[in-house]
Structure 1
Amino acid sequence: MADVKQLPTRDEVPVSLTWDLTAIFLDEAAWEQAYVRVETELTQFDQYHQHLGDGPEQLLAATQALLSVWQHLERIDVYASLLQEQDTSNQAAQGLAARADDLVARAGSALAWFEPEVLTINEDQLRDWLAAPDLAVYQHFFADINRARQHTLPADQESLLSGASDIFNASAKTFGVLDNADLTFPVVRDEEGHEVQLSQGVYGVLLQSTDRSVRAAAFKQLFRVYQQFQNTFASTLSSTIKTHNFTAKVHHYDSARAAALAKNNIPETVYETLVDQVNDHLSLLHRYVSLRKRILGVDHLHAYDLYTPITRTAPLTYTYTTAQKEALAALSVMGPDYVSHVQAAFDQRWIDVVETKGKRSGAFSSGAYDTNPYILLNWQDNLEELFTLVHEMGHSIHSYYTRHNQPYQYGDYAIFVAEIASTTNENTLTQYLLDHHQDPATRAFVLNHYLDGFKGTVFRQTQFAEFEHWLHQEDAAGHPLTAQRLTEYYGALNQRYYGPELTPDPEIAYEWARIPHFYYNYYVFQYATGFAAASTLSQGITSQQPGALERYLTFLKAGNSQYPLSVMKTAGVDMTKPDYLVAAFNVFEQRLNELEAILG
């Protein structure tokens, strides 16, 4: 076993390929100082309690104090979180993260009286106060609070629930530690016959291998581990679902879905329209699966055959260095100002690049109002990683524009629009590659990648959304979410989505156990709606439609100054109607037609 390829430890990675967290806090002592400051602010905040209705001056002072606490606290929390994510086995980092979580819970409890007390102010009186110049900038902030009037509990009850947030999140945290730090995956062989330690990142690469035996072995070995812990994962997931349903019920929502979507003022019809449209277009996915089976030349198409390029060769591969150059070129259509911030991300160490031992799997963009918008990657030299880079860069530049154009109270953006910026970049990269490569083999590879991306983002995430909604409905009806029931339902749902040409694999039925997004409370559907909306936005920008880029940059700068659907209408996409979804499926079909023609 001495020649088994192991992941490097963090201290073996060049500093230039790690993010610079000293830009947040120089050291742990500075973090401690900020921690104490927030604790002090929390003790002082109670002076405003039961005085918000005294007049506009008191309301203004309390609002500014509230936002100050959260602004300083976010910086503390982000630092601890990123420190832990770069090495989930680091005990010291775990300690900081736990303390940050505790402070967040204490702050939530100490500040929980604010919104209920605002709602005791007469609406007409509040409207008059907000007309004053000093409070006018908070009008949308208070309008959002007022919108939840019928779902806000008395202050003492909200405080009690906020204080228990750390407890409510315990099962999700347990899943994260188990999935990222404690699971031990077996050793498998790569295409060259080398033994490699299986990990989440390595699995993603091996599943794209053109060697079917490599794909099959990685697939079976990975899911053997999840199957071994199926009851534990069913327990953590079931507890999380129960939390979602409980908090929705006590806040007088009809369902957990209604509560989750209400946070962004999204009607449930947007969710339902997505599911309906995807189901109406499943024939396109079945057709693509059938093409994949035919081109791969297999008698039985398995789940581990769904990710390898059907062109069998990869004419486009990228090291991290070449990927930086390609990303800058592809995103140049966004204009020089946008590109300058992408360059800053590369030059100023916003990105943690290399997969290391104990590092959180996957990729994400994270940060606070006063920090850089950091990116975590687990780099592998392939086209998919280039797409991941521009995807996360879309998040980070969205964050940069928002934070530099909005005050703190609007300096973030709703989850609903978050995936739009990232997938606009993905769609833009696809068009760039198609514009710059006329060779049929390369075009086929890019088209295959696009279709796979659409499959994974629109079809697969909607499949996840259906499963997630079923989980909440089953728990609300009092049905136990056992590992057996989860596995049976997920396996049948997966088969319905991919169609009769896919051979049912018993392992894929356990996929529910490894999806972290099921713990995020109705998050996944937004990947699908975001990708579809991004398709429309990207087409406008890459074809240089008049005003398209300006509208898009305005969208990136809007933050939470408006509700998400209003922001999207300003950008040119009405997401209350199915048109944007139909348009996206039309692009999918056109590119599927071209791939079929190229492959004969």
Structure 2
Amino acid sequence: MEIKRRSEAATNDTWDLTSLFTDEKAWESGMKTLKEEIDRAPSFKGKLGSGKEGMLETFAWYEKTGILAERLYSWAFLNYAADASDSSNVKRYSLVSQALAQLGANMAYFDPELLAIEDKRVASYLADPAFSSYKVYLEKSRRFKAHVLSEAEERIMALQSEVGSTARTTFGDLTNVDFDFGTIETEEGPKPLTQSTYSSFLMSEDRALRALAYKQFYSAYDKHKHTIARLYEGQVKQDKFSCTARLYESCRQKALFADKVPMSVYDNLIDSVHEALPSLHRYYALRSRLMNLEKLAHYDVYVPLVSGVQKNTPYEEAVEIICKALAPLGEEYVSTLKKGLTTDRWVDRYENKGKRSGAFSSGGYTGKPYILLNYKEDVLKDLFTVAHEGGHSMHSYFSARNNPFFHYDYTIFEAEVASTFNEQLVATYLFETAEDKKTKAFILSKGLDDIVATLFRQTMFAEFEDITHRLSEEGVPLTVDLLREEYRKLLVLYFGPSVELEEVSDLEGLRIPHFYSSFYVYKYATGISAAIALSQKVLNGGEKEKNDYLSFLKSGGSTYPIESLKKAGVDMEKREPVQSALKHFSSLLDEFEALL
């Protein structure tokens, strides 16, 4: 649990960003080229509507510039995420963000001009093979006609985009860099309490240690609760600004519009989970009995349900386990992923000072599909995190290699299927290879915890986002007291009678980073629902089911997510996938109790 400085990290434990730029000098050269293209952007004004050749010329320039901009942003962002305490990383990230905002401002004419072209002429272009690399982009862009503004207004929106990210970046810097959670005294001596080590403490079998870590952790948020509440209100106000300016009915409608996801999908998710809350309450009641506690505290709900099963998994061993588990996906998938996780250095493995908490995958059209981790050998969840982020990166890998630039980028709605699918295969493999009933029970309990975290909890978060945005849209100020009150209501509803909340428990609503990417978290819940269905198809099927799933990964952004998932074998417009996942949770609970 020693937290190293970035400079102390072993080279093989860090990602190799040279697939984007070899060094800072090469990046600066790329920035110089991008600025030249930004200055050149206005010269293409009028060409989109001038005819076939003008449109093709403009799109070719846009593609070249877009790829360069993506590379520049990725290199700067990944360095910033790896060490936000390095001011040079912060500076470069700020510079490229400014440049992208300026590019958007200088291209403010693009969408209005594109959408002003009559449908008949666009239809003729779509039938022309010369437009094959832009066909899907053109088709999708027509849906936004009612929400694209005038050129002058689009320029203002683009210039405002950098300011609009202030709440998110400030929250990240405040909680990841400035917060000092101190140390925790343990039997082995003092250990640092950080965003990453917090999860390890909450999984400890020592209840006093859990309580201490929990209260000390939230004391930092309590001291800054008014500031964080203002940051979150700022994020919601930014969402409202964009929603109102672009003539959407609500923030949620705007968030779902681009993916062409019906509002009913969101509502059906919440309704289905509400109907299944008795099984979640049963889970917490069982947890209470197993821990010999009359009532669970909020800091008791993450302890492994099965004690005495030690699982310490070095990173390299975790990779081996994951590759064996994913064997049903075929040799190409497994060998590519294994190489990426090890010798090709897609991954930044361990925590260091200034590094962003949590984990993510960041794949682009060029370069490697990078993965940020804060891997802990003693946390089994982190093995699943490697598989999860590996699923994202393989999705990026296949999408970029099977689609043109304008069509490669898949939606988050689809992304959460690819990642959670991998977790399902890993869980199945670990269960089947377990040597005794206690280990099997341990794996089942992990499966239960995953569904609680990914389906139930993310739906609770999604419900909170919906409530806060609706209140703000109705003109209700989002004070710290209101945010805590609404979040506590949901905690009581979801945790049920077996959990006794602490006074600071509702501060959890102020520490969720994903709330700064509004209406994102519901996709985790729909993702695990689709992933459970598709993993069962692949595990119980044959070559066709495997190929259908791989075709889904290769489809990128070539169609809308609901349609691509239908082709893979699951219809997310219906309530059935979510209800089936919830029934799967109930059956796992039955199986777990039987094993005990």
TM-score (norm 2): 0.98
Q: Which amino acid aligns with 1:79?
A: W
What is aligned with 1:358? 354
Tell me which residue corresponds to 1:491. Answer: 488
Pair 1:597 & 2:594 matched: yes
2:383 is aligned with 1:386: yes
Counterpart-to-counterpart distance in 2, 1:558 and 1:284: 36
1:21 to 11, 17, 27: 17
Residue 148 of structure 2 is matched in structure 1 by 152
The one of 392, 401, 404 aligned to 1:407: 404
Residue in structure 2 matched with residue 128 of structure 1 by the alignment: 124
Asked whether the 8 Å contact 1:316–1:442 carries over to 2, the reply is no
Tell me the equivalent position of 2:162: 166
Q: Distance in 2 between matches of 1:546 and 1:354?
A: 37
Measured in 1, the distance between the counterparts of 2:100 and 2:309 equals 46
| Conserved 8 A contact 2:285-2:498 | yes
Measured after TM superposition, the shift of residue 545 of structure 1 is 4.1
Alpha-carbon distance in structure 2 between the residues aligned to 1:298 and 1:532? 32
Matching residue of 2:534: 537
Matches of 2:105 and 2:62, distance apart in 1: 12
1:195 and 2:153 correspond: no
Cα distance in 1 for partners of 2:168, 2:133 equals 36
3-state DSSP of counterpart to 2:184: strand
2:212 aligned with 1:225, yes or no? Answer: no
Give distance in 2, aligned partners of 1:116 and 1:275: 37
Show the counterpart of 1:322: 317
Q: Compare 557-566 and 49-58 and name the one that shifted more.
A: 49-58
Deviations along 1:205-263, one digit per CA (max 9) or x if unpaired, are 11111111111111111011101100000010000100101111111100000001001
The reply on whether 1:247 has 2:249 as its aligned counterpart is no
Counterparts of 1:163-312 in structure 2 under 5 Å?
A: 163-190=159-186, 192-312=187-307
**For 1:323, what is the secondary structure of its paired residue?**
helix
Matched, 1:524 2:511: no
C-alpha displacement at 1:57, in angstroms? 1.0
The range that moved more, 44-53 or 275-284, is 44-53
User: Which range moves more in the overlay, 33-42 or 414-423?
Assistant: 33-42
Partner of 1:137: helix, strand, or coil? coil
- Greater alpha carbon shift after TM alignment, 562-571 vs 581-590: 581-590
Shift of 1:434: 1.3
Question: Counterpart of 1:476 in structure 2: which amino acid?
Answer: E
Q: Which range is displaced more, 586-595 or 42-51?
A: 42-51
Alignment partner of 1:34 out of 6, 14, 30: 30
The counterpart of 1:574, out of the listed 562, 571, 577, is 571
Equivalent AA in structure 2 for residue 153 of structure 1: L
1:375 partner SS: strand
| Pairwise CA distance, 1:130 | 2.2
Offset at residue 137 of structure 1 (A): 3.4
Alpha-carbon spacing, 1:197–1:316, altered in 2? closer, same or farther (3 Å): closer
Structure 2 distance, partners of 1:91, 1:61, is 39
**Structure 1: tracts of 5 or more residues without a match:** none
Q: CA deviation at 1:14?
A: 1.4
SS of 1:189 mapped into structure 2? strand
| Cα distance between partner residues in 1 of 2:148 and 2:507 | 38
Residues 111-147 of structure 1 deviation map (CA, whole Å, 9 limit, x = unaligned): 2221111111111111112211201332211111100
Counterpart CA distance in 2 for 1:408 and 1:323 is: 33
Counterpart residue identity of residue 296, structure 1: M
Amino acid at match of 2:294: D
CA deviation map 1:429-482 (0-9, x unaligned): 111111111511101111111101100000000000000111111111111111
> Is 1:109 the counterpart of 2:105 in the alignment?
yes
For residues 358 and 403 of structure 1, the distance between their equivalents in structure 2, rounded to whole angstroms, comes to 31
Q: Distance in 2 between matches of 1:47 and 1:127?
A: 26
Deviation of 1:67 after TM superposition, in Å, equals 2.0
1:95 aligns with 2:91: yes
CA contact under 8 A between 2:41 and 2:103: conserved in structure 1? no
**Do the aligned partners of 2:6 and 2:353 also contact (CA within 8 Å) in 1?**
yes
Secondary structure of 2:191's aligned partner: strand
Tell me what 1:583 maps to.
580
Aligned-pair identity in percent equals 37
Query: Take 2:290 and 2:482, find their aligned partners in 1: how far apart are those partners?
Result: 35
Structure 2 counterpart of 1:473: 470
After TM superposition, the runs of 4+ consecutive aligned structure 1 residues lying more than 6 A away are none
Question: Residue 188 of structure 1 aligns to a residue in which SS?
Answer: strand
CA gap 1:281/1:545 in 2 versus in 1, 3 angstroms: farther
The aligned amino acid for 1:505 is: E
Contact 1:295-1:310 within 8 A present in 2 as well? yes
Q: Distance in 1 between matches of 2:23 and 2:352?
A: 22
Residue 58 of structure 2 corresponds to 62
Equivalent pair of 1:270/1:575 in contact (CA under 8 Å) = yes
Structure 1 residue 10 corresponds to structure 2 residue 24 = no
Counterpart for residue 501 of structure 1: 498
TM-score, length-normalised on structure 1?
0.97
Give the equivalent residue in structure 2 for 1:432: 429
Q: Distance in 2 between matches of 1:552 and 1:404?
A: 16
User: Contact 1:352/1:376 (CA < 8 Å) preserved in 2?
Assistant: yes
Residues 411 and 560 of structure 1 are in contact (CA less than 8 Å); yes or no, is this contact kept in structure 2? yes
CA contact (8 A) 1:45 1:62 kept: no
- Amino acid corresponding to residue 87 of structure 1 in structure 2: D
Matched, 1:377 2:373: yes
- Give yes or no for contact 2:363–2:397 (8 Å, CA) kept in 1: no
Task: Give the distance between the partners of 1:431 and 1:416, measured in 2 at CA.
Answer: 24
* Alpha-carbon contact 2:562-2:571 (below 8 Å) kept: yes
Task: Measure how far apart 1:159 and its partner are.
Answer: 1.2
1:293/1:300 contact within 8 Å kept: yes
Deviation at 1:508, TM superposition (A): 1.4
Shift of 1:6: 4.1
* Separation of aligned partners in 1, 2:210 and 2:447: 21
Give the match's secondary structure for 1:52: coil
Q: Cα offset for 1:86?
A: 0.7
Farther off after superposition, 6-15 or 56-65: 6-15
Separation in structure 2 between the aligned mates of residue 276 and residue 112 of structure 1, nearest angstrom: 41
SS state at 1:312 partner: coil
Deviations 1:506-558 (A, max 9, x none): 12110011100001021000000000100011111122345111000000000
Q: Is the 8 A contact 1:66 1:111 kept in 2?
A: no
Q: Distance between the aligned counterparts of 1:565 and 1:102, measured in 2?
A: 34
- Contact 1:207–1:307, Cα closer than 8 Å, also in 2: yes
Q: Counterparts of 2:30 and 2:330 in 1: how far apart (Å)?
A: 38
Give the whole-Å Cα distance in 2 for the aligned partners of 1:117 and 1:75: 27
- Across the two proteins, how many residue pairs are aligned to each other? 594
